[in-house]
Amino acid sequence: MATLSLFLFLSLLISAFNFAESQSFIGVNYGQVADNLPPPGATANLLKSTTIGKIRLYGVDGAIIKALAGTGIGIVIGAANSEIPALASDPNAATGWVNSNVVPYYPASNIMLITIGNEVMMTMDQGLISQLLPAMRNVQNALNSASLGGKVRVSTVHSMAVLSQSDPPSSGSFNPVFQDSLRGLLAFQKDNGSPFTVNPYPFFAYQSDPRPETLAFCLFQPNSGRVDSGNGIKYMNMFDAQVDAVRSALNAMGFKDVDIMVAETGWAYNGDNNEVGPSIENARAYNGNLIAHLRSLVGTPLMPGKSVDTYIFALYDENLKSGPASERAFGLFKTDLSMTYDVGLSKTSQTPSTTPTYPSPKPTAAGWCVPKAGVSDAQLQANLDYACGQGIDCGTIQPGGACFEPNTVSSHAAYAMNLYFQNSAKNPGNCDFAQTATLTSTNPSYNACTYPGGGT
């Protein structure tokens, strides 16, 4: 079938069995630049009520690490940039760091990774950059001495700005200024099995190119896609494009077997009047659709069939952060432990509406969602890809399915769009598809192909 791959269908089928438990590929960042955070025990209980499988700290907080003991939740801890010189110059300092910050808690608390520094390359401090690899080596040696080698790994977090080229994704390459330093870091990471950790933010990509089509591409919403001129691959969202640009850069340097971890990504739900992009609707769409994309296990075009470990920014707002208002508005949860907006992380509710809500009529049990007349095949293909990427069962339009014939983009898209609408609480806002769909009271079913909906 040309319009929906068998691989995608099988991936979606597999993902249906993964919804009830914590998911190791979904993590969250726990920033602490705030004076109103809940007690550690309350945060631990909140995490246990969700499908979040991992948490990333920017430093080491013994209280939250202890509170997570016995939960199985993976924990990333960090050494600050200011700690790098001592860790690099003195192996005893590294040993002391591990003995104070890892040994007392492991294995009851599932510490998995230590990040040495945050976006060190972007400091442009050549002295600090040159000390990063020695610091990582000393911490790794300290872990080995504590019999934790291979159990707790060592990495460092990078900004997407370490790439000098990222568009198209196949041309991804590291900035020549950083290549020698990165080559040493990557050789170390390859030897020790730690991931290349990076912070892709479609949020910032949209702010630099605030066109409607860019917003849809960034929010995993229906769009015409972007074809990679280097390999012909059609990308349907910015997240995959950014991650695959990193993959291409790693491959170009000869590190095809170093995994990627997304240390931060997210979308602000509020901002200053002059900021483009922040809103509750956009934040819910980005994070909700990202989570659905990860759960589908489709992966990216260059890394199919698995989901990259991804840490969403952030668990809570950080009210003491400086900068524009958006810096203080990334939290998935409020500090009273209520949701800022629902993206389906609760173990008791995993099917939120992740498209923007509209001030439209009340949902109704009657009606079908169908494409408007005159919509192009390219847009219908985008609608089809989007709908089937949200976890609905598109097997009916696979070969042998009751609605496979006629084998056309328009027919398959019509079925998938309606099924998505029916499975999304029949909210009229979920029959929009970038204004290419409409509700009808005429049953579009034909022959043995039955469209769910109407009064059923």
Q: What pLDDT score was predicted for residue 6?
A: 43
> CB of 30 within 8 A of CB of 43?
yes
Question: At 303, which amino acid appears?
Answer: M
pLDDT tens, position by position, 404-440 = 999 999 999 999 999 988 987 777 777 878 778 889 9
Q: Where are the beta strands (DSSP E) in 283-355?
A: 299-300, 303-304, 310-312
Residue 132 neighbours by CB under 8 Å, 6+ apart = 84, 88, 116, 117, 120, 156, 181, 185
Tokens 């691989």, located at residue: 7
Position 25 scores a pLDDT of 92
* Nearest C-alpha neighbor of 169 from the set 231, 260, 216, 262: 231
Q: What is the pLDDT of residue 13?
A: 43
Selection from 206, 222, 224, 203 nearest residue 214 by Cα: 206
Active-site residue, selected from the candidate residues 21, 83, 119, 327: 119
Residue with tokens 């009657």, as numbered in its chain: 366
Per-residue confidence in pLDDT tens, the chain, 456 aa = 334 444 444 444 444 444 446 788 999 999 999 999 999 999 999 999 999 999 999 999 999 999 999 999 999 999 999 999 999 999 999 999 999 999 999 999 999 999 999 999 999 999 999 999 999 999 999 999 999 999 999 999 999 999 999 999 999 999 999 999 999 999 999 999 999 999 999 999 999 999 999 999 999 988 888 999 999 998 999 999 999 999 999 999 999 999 999 999 999 999 999 999 999 999 999 999 999 899 888 899 999 889 999 999 999 999 999 999 999 999 999 999 999 999 999 988 654 434 433 333 334 446 899 999 988 887 888 888 888 877 788 999 988 999 999 999 999 999 999 998 898 777 777 787 877 888 999 999 999 999 998 764
Could you tell me the domains of the chain? 20-349 (3.20.20.80), 368-440 (no CATH)
The Cα 70–Cα 164 span in angstroms is 43
What's the angle, vertex CA 445, arms to CA 387 and CA 1, rounded to 5?
A: 50
- How far apart are the C-alpha atoms of 263 and 55, rounded to whole Å? 10
Q: Which two tokens stand for residue 69?
A: 């003991």
165: left (phi over 0), alpha (psi -120 to 50) or beta: beta
Nearest Cα to 294, choosing from 9, 74, 13, 26? 26
CA atoms within 13 A on the CB side of 403: 23
Angle between helices 377-388 and 409-422 (to 10 degrees): 40
Check: CB of residue 28 under 8 Å from CB of residue 51. no
Contacts of 381 (CB under 8 A, 6+ apart): 3, 225, 409, 413
Using CA atoms, how far apart are residues 52 and 46, in angstroms rounded to an integer?
10
pLDDT of residue 359: 32
d(CA 27, CA 157): 15
- Per-residue tokens: 5: 């791959």
Supply the angle between the helices 377-388 and 6-15 in degrees, to the nearest 10: 30
Phi-psi sector, 394: left (phi>0), alpha (psi -120 to 50), beta: alpha
How far, in Å, CA of 372 to CA of 349, rounded? 32
Please report, for residues 52, 272, 347, 373, the alpha-carbon distance to residue 350 in angstroms, rounded to integers and kept in the order given.
12, 31, 7, 33
Instruction: Give CA–CA dist 444/122, Å, rounded.
Output: 56
Torsion sign, CA atoms 88, 90, 95, 101: negative
**pLDDT for position 223:** 84
Angle, CA of 299, 300 and 304, to the nearest 5°: 55
Alpha-carbon span 301 to 341, nearest angstrom: 30
The pLDDT value given to residue 434: 72
Euclidean distance between CA atoms 69 and 72, whole angstroms: 7
> Taking the CA atoms of the chain, what radius of gyration do you get in angstroms?
23
Residue carrying the six token digits 């049990």 = 365
Q: Is 119 labeled as catalytic in the residue annotation?
A: yes
Residue 247, φ and ψ in degrees, nearest 5: -60, -45
Length reported for the chain: 456
Q: Rounded distance, CA 98 to CA 78, Å?
A: 11
Partner residues linked to 76 by β-bridges: 56, 113
What are the C-alpha distances in Å from 242 to residues 204, 211, 262, 376? 12, 18, 10, 27
- Catalytic (active site) residue 405: no
- Considering the candidates 21, 264, 318, 327, report the single residue annotated as catalytic: 264
